[in-house]
Amino acid sequence: MVLLPFSARNTSETNDWNGSKLKDDSKHYKLLVVGGGAGGLGAASKFARKLPRGSVGIIEPHEDHYYQPGFTLVGGGLMTLRETTRKQEKLIPSGAKWIRNEVVLFTPTQNMVTLDGGEDISYDYMVVAMGAHLRFDKVIEI
Ligand SMILES: Cc1cc2nc3c(=O)[nH]c(=O)nc-3n(C[C@H](O)[C@H](O)[C@H](O)COP(=O)(O)OP(=O)(O)OC[C@H]3O[C@@H](n4cnc5c(N)ncnc54)[C@H](O)[C@@H]3O)c2cc1C
């Protein structure tokens, strides 16, 4: 997980963490979290409690959230895959907005990301928590 600090695009509407100056449109967030897994939800939850409603956006494409440590228990027959699964909507912290999409382009020089479909979302601060990309195809003899 990476926290990207404030950079060049510091507008007067958005430059304080106390947050009452959030822009009206919903395409700008004080804190934008990319990835609604364990790391992203943890960060979003912490800041959604401190910032005004609507200041935190979470970009996550999947409807289901997996408790990955439970996978070892699934393998050991102590848990079912279903028991490791939660609906993402139930885990989004109160006051945060779930943007159900994926980021296809990061433009940090403009504090902006582009979603699949072309929509741009801007931010003051961003947490990137997109997890690991597993490449079983690179493991010899699997
Ligand atoms: C089998 C197994 C057992 C484990 N056991 C333990 C344990 O006992 N203890 C422990 O501490 N940890 C354990 N872990 C590790 C722990 O699960 C991970 O460290 C943790 O889930 C990582 O969280 P994350 O938010 O970084 O990534 P993830 O939880 O993987 O979440 C990443 C999210 O980013 C989203 N995403 C990806 N690309 C994009 C995109 N372009 N745009 C928007 N969203 C995107 C994905 O859809 C996903 O929801 C285990 C992991 C596994 C696989």
At 2 the three-state DSSP class reads: strand
Question: Other CB atoms closer than 10 Å to residue 48's CB: what's the count?
Answer: 23
Look up the CATH number of the domain holding residue 56. Answer: 3.50.50.60
pTM score: 0.85
Domain range for 57 is 2-7+28-131
**What confidence score (pLDDT) does residue 3 get?**
58
| Nearest CA among 51, 128, 49, 53 for reference residue 97 | 53
32 lies in a domain? yes
Residues 15-71 pLDDT 10s: 333 333 444 456 999 999 999 999 999 999 999 999 999 999 999 999 999 999 999
Dihedral sign, Cα of residue 10, residue 6, residue 19, residue 91: positive
- Nearest ligand 1 atom, CA 71: 1
- Nearest ligand 1 atom, CA 42: 25
Query: Is 40 close to ligand 1, i.e. is its CB under 6 Å away?
Result: yes
Number of domains in the chain: 1
Distance CA(86)–CA(64), nearest Å, equals 6
DSSP state of 16: -
